[in-house]
Structure 1
Amino acid sequence: MAIIRLASQYGRYGYRRITAMLRAEGWVVNHKRVERIWWREGLKVPKKQPKRGRLWLNDGSCIRLRPSWPNHVWAYDFVQARTHNGRAFRMLTVIDEFSRECLAILVARRLRSDDVLHLLADLFADKGPPDHIRSDNGSEFTAKTVRAWLGRIGVKT
């Protein structure tokens, strides 16, 4: 099968690039069909090496921020996965970096900035707000409403 041949030949290419290569070879294919075949055949692109996490404040200073006590620094991030039938879902995870305790996991097909706000509000009511909160600066975390809300509460990002 041409998809498997190209995937093994070009190991870092995903299904979108493979679709473009198939079209260049003269195949008439739809990217959604290639994606379905890609997942059915169990093809995956190898993960890149993860970059080291940010340990400094978001104000441009060079102070390396390390957690010193519980509730000092929290980290939150999205993890995306797929079900056995190929449907994507997202998980919002919040951890306390000092104790490495997972404070919350929210699972849904779609998560937006207001979902982040609701989860954080519940956590702040339960555990109290942290001094700092760290994220990967994804669109849900850098949204004006999230940053303004965290600023009003006094949580540094």
Structure 2
Amino acid sequence: AIRVGRQLRAADVIDVLSDLFILRGTPGHVRSDNGPEFAATAVKGWITGVGAKTAFIEPGSPWENGYVESFNGKLRDELLNAEVFNTLAEAKVLIEQWRRHYNTVRPHSSLRYRPPAPEVVLTHLGRPPHGQTAHASAQLLPMRH
């Protein structure tokens, strides 16, 4: 998850985490650095309240969370060092575009050069949409003479 803002507070962290937990379920642990937005009493209390535990990375020990360190490096090299954001709105749009590309298009070596979550387009392949009869779906198509 990426949240773009001029400042991120404990409430922003809780908001993002709650969205992730609803989408993916509550993890056993939430690993983070000791930044003030994660170390805040409100965030630690919320994480405990939903049944997870905190797992803080020791200062100066980035290897304790290699996936995030790798991601942060790619984000910085491929986007943040290459762009100048003139407004917060522009930053939000460009960062979201990069995030979508990173997850749905960009090949990842650890996944045999496939993207982690490729976009999928579903078609009905000639069948009516779910819950409709063939007669009802026929009404949705333009008639040709």
Could you say which structure has the larger radius of gyration?
2
TM-score interval for Structure 1 and Structure 2 normalised by the shorter chain: 0.3 to 0.5
Q: TM-score, normalised by structure 2?
A: 0.36
Q: TM-score, normalised by structure 1?
A: 0.34
Q: Which structure has the highest strand share of the two?
A: 1
Q: Which structure has the highest helix share of the two?
A: 2
